[in-house]
A and B are shown apart, each in its own frame.
Chain A
Amino acid sequence: MQPFTLNYARPAVQLDVTVPYAYDSGLQLNVLPDGRIAATDHATLRALGTTTSTAGSKTHFDD
Chain B
Amino acid sequence: MTVLILTSEEDVTADMVVLRLGEAGVPVVRLDPADLTNGVALSGEYARGACRGRLSVGGRLVDMDGLRSVWLRRPGTAAARAAQPSAWLTEESAQALYGMLRCTGARWMNHPDAARRARYKPWQLRLAQRAGLPVPDTLITTFPQAAREFAGRHPDLVVKPVSGAHPQEPPRAVPTSRVAPDTDFTAVAYGPTLLQRRVPKRADIRLTAVGGTLLAARKPVAPDAHPDDVDVRFAPSNAPWAPAPVPPPVAEGVLRYLRGAELAYGAFDFAEDAEGVWWFLECNQSGQFGFVEMDTGQPIAATIADWLAGSGSPQAGLLDDEEFSGF
Contact = CB atoms under 8 A, between A and B. Distances in A.
A63 B191 contact: no
B173 A30 contact: no
Given A50-B13, A58-B168, A9 B173 contact: yes
Contacts of A57: 166
B159 A56 contact: no
B231 A55 contact: yes
Interface in B116-174: 119, 147, 159-168, 170-174
A16 B234 CA distance: 18
A11 B170 contact: yes
- SS class, residues of chain B in contact with chain A: mixed
Contacts of B174: 5-6, 8-10, 55
A39 B16 contact: yes
A30 to B, nearest CB: 5
Interface extent on A, as a size class? Answer: 35 or more
A13 B15 CA distance: 25
Interface in A5-63: 5-14, 19, 21, 23, 25-26, 28-30, 37-40, 42, 45-46, 49-63
A11 B56 CA distance: 41
A14 B170 CA distance: 11
Interface stretch (B82-90, B93-101, B243-251, B284-292): B284-292
Contacts of B322: none
Contacts of A63: 233, 284, 287-288
Interface in B154-200: 159-168, 170-175, 177, 185, 187-188, 190-194
A6 B28 CA distance: 43
A3 B286 contact: no
Nearest to B293: A51
B49 interface: no
B208 to A, nearest CB: 11
Given A6-B191, A55-B166, A28 B28 contact: yes
A21 B76 CA distance: 19
A56 B166 contact: yes
Most buried by B among A1, A6, A21: A6
Contacts of A8: 159, 174-175, 177
A10 B290 CA distance: 26
A39 B289 CA distance: 13
Nearest to A53: B288
Interface of A: 1-14, 19, 21, 23, 25-26, 28-30, 37-40, 42, 45-46, 49-63
16 contacts: A1-B190, A3-B187, A3-B192, A3-B193, A4-B147, A4-B190, A6-B174, A8-B159, A8-B177, A9-B173, A23-B9, A28-B29, A40-B19, A45-B12, A45-B294, A63-B287
